[in-house]
Structure 1
Amino acid sequence: TSTAGVVDDILLIAQELLAIHNDSTALPTSCKEIKERQPLSPSGVYLLSNTSSTYNAYCNMEELCSSTGGWTRLAYLDMTDATQNCPSGFSLYQSGGVRACGKQIRQNGCISVQFPSHNISYSQVCGRVTGYTYGSIDALNSGQEFEGVSITRGSSRQKVWSFLAGNREVGSSSNSCPCNTGSSVSVPASIGNNYFCESGILYTSDPLWDGQGCGSDEAPCCNVPGIPWFHRNYGSNTTTDYIELRVCANFNDEDSPVSYYEIYVK
């Protein structure tokens, strides 16, 4: 073998070693990637990379929504923590030791906050939301599609999960939850079975969508699988859509302020 050939072989080996090194030290782009690289990684905050920058994200490495770990958290709010503030544009409700975030005073319709996916390609969304009711909120019997909180994805606002707020815990009236015993309320196809519904009064010990404290007629609403966690699995269909949380009510004296949410993708 010529000297030139030996040099070429050495350069080729060096290039291969460099490629291996670069691959092993490249920052992960999602918590799922970390879980796949290091299956014993604990839950916690990790440094991730997207196409243009790096950022810190909380990774849940345990089973969540009946799916193995590797979940990247896109959204988190816990208003029991006095250091946390409402998202921009939301109003703060405070009473009886409860803090929650809802629409602006005298605002009709919806208010929303978006959470970027940081270009993570995901096929599952898992999370939970806790809120309250204010005024005579009517679940699906209003001038708009729903009253409560909606989790959507992308600019077309494809519904991921809906959190409906009913007017009363008993009875089967049109402004109560469609999951109530004897209810004849029809659920729009865009919502389907992907919803939780509960009724309550603002700032009581009975927050909404936690699977607890339902009245007798509303008991089926507290017994749905998974509650308080929602889960959408899109199978082989992946997306990088941003997630949006919307709080909606038809009139300016109605609201469904939220006190807690966390949303993960994988």
Structure 2
Amino acid sequence: MKFQLLMIFSLLGLGSAWNQPSTCYVRQSICSSDSEIRGIRETLVSIQETLKSSLTSISASLQQLAQDTTTNPPTESATTTDPPTEPATTTDPPTEPATTTDPPTEPATTTDPPTEPATTTDPPTEPATTTDPPTEPATTTDPPTEPATTTEMYLSIGTFEYPAISCNDIPQDRPSGEYWIATNTTSFPIQVYCDMNRTSCSCNTAGGWMRVANLDMTDPNQNCPNGFILVNRTTPPLRTCGRPGPIGCASTTYPTYGVEYSRVCGRVIGYQDRIPNGFIPYIKYNSLLDDIYVDGVSLTHGQAPRQHIWTFVNAVDESRGGNHVCFCTRPDLTYTGVVPPYVGQDYFCETGSRQKATGLFYADDPLWDGQGCASGSTCCEFNNPPWFCKQLPQPTTDDIEIRLCGDQDTGNEDSPLELVDIYIR
């Protein structure tokens, strides 16, 4: 094929040379005659026709070759015959039997599968894990407890897990007792006493009261709060908390732990010691609420200035009129005193002496208990002692302060306390 192509190209080259007008190139001789040139040309034309037909056959051959190339898959089947040549390589596995002798050593490793059966015994341990789903059904039982927890959550309000915001959040059908509340002043819930049936208060509200003060000196295990001193009497046996001695007020503050409230309910029980004078400090000095304005007890909230809650007035006796007795004393006696405007009607007034008071401790008639008043006196009915209830002008979270005051020292007058019981709501 290469030779034919070379001949074609060389002849074509001659043809192009003979096309020159009056010259002819021959390897042995040169002829310049026109007639000879025409003869040569005619010869060349026939040669060209021959060459064309040859080229046509060559082109057909090339096309056939191209078609053969497109049919390479059959030729690849010849390559697929290479795998038969690979049988020689497949004879290598027979050489690998020598290596297959290693598998006999692998049977030793195949003895490991017996150890793997030990691992296959792990699936039996996995069934043990598959037993976990039975434990998960136990967890799946939790959703049933969760619907219960919704109810339980309501019923469990006031526990450490579900602390209340205040005693008012405790369900009203719950009994009085200790409950947990969350506060703004402590990191963890605190336990407080919630009175769920405080019908003794005149607030027309039964439950949900949080106790902030609980002093009961009839309990031998209780002690006086800071700022007060223990006053022990033997005849009759009596434990009370009094002022340290000088003129002024003994004071202690009871925390509310940031619980918001708008009502205060409670009672205070004390005794008359010697000759107190009611509102005389205010009458004499025009005292402010922050000052000594009463012989008795002042209950307030907040500081600078204090806000009045209730006042417990210790008057001299019920045998005379004047400005140092209670205005609610016997109707045949004239009260000439005044009540401080910041106190208003929010107070109790009582005396422990039916006769002219002397330097005695009047243990037979406790103060502000609503009992023992003289005939005709309305002091045991005024504001319905012993329990008071105060609706505050606006809600607050203030702590509550109790002050025991006197404008003379305790050698002349005092009102020592036996019981303080204060609630907020």
TM-score by length of 1: 0.85
- The residue identity in structure 2 corresponding to 1:100 is T
Structure 1 vs Structure 2 CA RMSD: 2.0
Structure 1 residues 263 and 56: CA distance shift in structure 2, 3 A: same
Structure ranking higher in helix proportion: 2
Question: Which of the pair has more CA radius of gyration?
Answer: 2
Q: Which residue in 2 is equivalent to 1:58?
A: 193
In the TM superposition, what is the alpha-carbon distance from 1:46 to its structure 2 partner? Answer: 1.0
Give the whole-Å Cα distance in 2 for the aligned partners of 1:80 and 1:203. 17
In the TM superposition, what is the alpha-carbon distance from 1:75 to its structure 2 partner? Answer: 0.3
Could you say what secondary structure the match of 1:139 adopts? coil
In the TM superposition, what is the alpha-carbon distance from 1:203 to its structure 2 partner? Answer: 4.5
Indicate yes or no: 2:385 matched with 1:227.
yes
Picking from 184, 192, 201, the partner of 2:336 is: 184
Structure 1 residues 145 and 225: CA distance shift in structure 2, 3 A: closer
Task: Give yes or no for contact 1:170–1:216 (8 Å, CA) kept in 2.
Answer: no
Q: How many residues align?
A: 242
Alignment of 1:19-34 (within 5 A): 26-34=162-170
In the TM superposition, what is the alpha-carbon distance from 1:185 to its structure 2 partner? Answer: 1.6
Indicate yes or no: 2:215 matched with 1:77.
yes
- The residue identity in structure 2 corresponding to 1:56 is Q
Q: Which residue in 2 is equivalent to 1:265?
A: 424
Q: Which residue in 2 is equivalent to 1:148?
A: 296
Give the whole-Å Cα distance in 1 for the aligned partners of 2:265 and 2:361. 26
Could you say what secondary structure the match of 1:32 adopts? helix
- Cα shift readout 1:63-107 (whole Å, capped 9, x = no counterpart): 4323121000000011001111001221111112111101003x1
Structure 1 residues 258 and 118: CA distance shift in structure 2, 3 A: same
- The residue identity in structure 2 corresponding to 1:88 is N
Task: Give yes or no for contact 1:138–1:175 (8 Å, CA) kept in 2.
Answer: yes
Give the whole-Å Cα distance in 2 for the aligned partners of 1:115 and 1:82. 21
Indicate yes or no: 2:227 matched with 1:89.
yes
Q: Which residue in 1 is equivalent to 2:351?
A: 199
Could you say what secondary structure the match of 1:238 adopts? strand
Alignment of 1:34-183 (within 5 A): 34=170, 38-51=171-184, 52=186, 53-64=188-199, 65=201, 66-95=204-233, 96-105=236-245, 107-142=246-281, 144-155=292-303, 156-180=305-329, 181=331, 182-183=334-335
Structure 2 unmatched ranges of 5 or more: 1-145, 155-160, 285-291, 353-359
Task: Give yes or no for contact 2:273–2:361 (8 Å, CA) kept in 1.
Answer: yes
Structure 1 residues 88 and 57: CA distance shift in structure 2, 3 A: same
Could you say what secondary structure the match of 1:232 adopts? strand
Give the whole-Å Cα distance in 2 for the aligned partners of 1:151 and 1:100. 18
**Larger RCO (CA under 8 A, 6+ residues apart):** 1
- The residue identity in structure 1 corresponding to 2:183 is N
Q: Which residue in 2 is equivalent to 1:6?
A: none
Percent identity between the two aligned chains: 39
Give the whole-Å Cα distance in 2 for the aligned partners of 1:202 and 1:179. 22
Give the whole-Å Cα distance in 1 for the aligned partners of 2:414 and 2:319. 20
Give the whole-Å Cα distance in 1 for the aligned partners of 2:375 and 2:336. 17
TM-score by length of 2: 0.54
- The residue identity in structure 2 corresponding to 1:249 is G
